[in-house]
Amino acid sequence: DLEVWVKDALSHYWGGPKLTESPLLKLKVVQQSLEEYDYVPSKALRSILREGIQRIKPEGERRFTAEWILYNILEMKFMEGRKVREIAMRLAMSEADLYRKQRVAIEAVANAIVEMERRARQEEHYGMNGGEMPVDLRINQE
């Protein structure tokens, strides 16, 4: 389900019901970022999706190499709105291979969002209980 929701939200990244009515809007990490985005849920979700994509971005300058393939697919397809055929040509791969790698890329973003959600819930739990997060959890966030 999560991967389908992520793909749907990404497909309407710049606007549309799959973003504005996404089940992902209920995530704690999205709710916690509402204030930062003027209490506009779609803006908050868009920021979480963008952060998920950024988490799979390799270090250094953008390149068109194997290690950059997942990031480039997401960036070109969903952020830049390019067509599948154009992306496949640019990345020198078949459309079928592009779709396979896109599934892997979306799964990576979904996993990143799961991690962001886990941290948001931990922060809320420790904040509501007036305690600090255990040191090992704080270290992982730095």
Task: Please tell me the predicted confidence (pLDDT) of residue 132.
Answer: 56
Task: Please tell me the predicted confidence (pLDDT) of residue 139.
Answer: 44
Separation between Cα atoms, residue 8 and residue 22, nearest integer Å: 8
Range of the domain at 75: 2-141
Separation between Cα atoms, residue 96 and residue 93, nearest integer Å: 8
Q: Which of 83, 87, 52 is nearest to 72 (CA)?
A: 87
Q: How many domains does the chain have?
A: 1
Q: Summarize pLDDT for 52-65 with one digit per residue, the tens.
A: 999 999 999 988 88
Per-residue pLDDT of the chain (142 residues; tens, 9 = 90+): 899 999 999 999 998 999 999 999 999 999 999 999 999 999 999 999 999 999 999 999 988 888 999 999 999 999 999 999 999 999 999 999 999 999 999 999 999 999 999 999 998 877 655 555 554 544 444 4
